[in-house]
Amino acid sequence: MATQAMQPGSLRVWLLAARPATLAAAFVPVAVGCACAAAVSGFRLGPALATLFAAVLIQIGTNFANDVLDHEKGADTDQRVGPIRATQAKLLTPRQMWWGTILVFVGAAVIGTYLAILGGWPIVVIGVLSILCGIAYTGGPFPLGYNGLGDLFVLVFFGFVAVCGTAYVQIGAVPEIAWWAAVPVGALAAAILAVNNLRDRRTDVLVGKRTLAVRLGPRVARAQYTLLIAASYCIPLLLALLTTSSGWVLLPWLTLPAAIYLIKGIYGPEQGPKLNRILVHTAQLLLIHGILFAAGLALSR
């Protein structure tokens, strides 16, 4: 998408900054968490929709904060091979992006008030930590993404916090199946970040961004990606073999050919455009795998 074709400050630019391709990482944990609640006959539509809207807003707010903070730290430069960043491309000013970040997080907090009434103090803690960590990912005195903790953050928040928190709002407790189900969701979300960090490692090292791909090198980054993808298929199999879940939980295995294709692709030459495609396709895998997993969990009750 050429910057010349976009009017600075336009709606199209804000949509670009929101990074729609990443929003699957907000939708899937909620869908899977709701399916876990449905598996124990506890699904409620109102809390489900509120959780979804809050999760999407937190994801967008995190993307906005990442955009402006990476720009201010010098991580987004003309050498970057990833998608356009609005602040770096001067399509939005840092002030505009900060105000957008604040407004989106306030919207998430308003919805979170309703969820807190339903779920009590655990939901307050989850909401506050999600917003704070969304900023701390690239900001603050110890930015997680700059110190090799981004992968763990994504695994924990997009997996265990989001899936188990969604189920908790639905039924007032976290069913055992939610702990299992959180692993594939978090693993695939972390796989997206692993590709991103592999692609950006040469420019990240120049600005002191010490991701795992920078610290441990491309071979480990590729192995990490492979293990994360593998985990997303092993857990449904274990659920079918070791729990009372029916064979429906194996529905995500329909996407296995796509996963194998992506794993083969990431072991090829390290080229920016190729890794961009793998990143997009990994996000698509998260979405399709997650929908099938949610459907399988709901049908297993």
What's the pLDDT band for 1 if we cut at 50, 70, 90? very low
DSSP assigned state of 26: H
**What is the tens place of the pLDDT at every residue in 150-185?**
999 999 999 999 999 999 999 999 999 999 999 999
**What is the tens place of the pLDDT at every residue in 244-254?**
788 999 999 99
Is residue 214 packed enough to be buried (19+ CB in 10 Å), middle (13-18) or exposed (0-12)? buried
Tell me the whole-structure pTM to 2 decimals. Answer: 0.90
**Spatial separation of the C-alpha atoms in residues 112 and 126, rounded to whole Å:** 10
Closest CA to 301 of 36, 39, 35: 39
DSSP assigned state of 155: I
| Third-level CATH fold of 9-299 | Farnesyl Diphosphate Synthase (1.10.600)
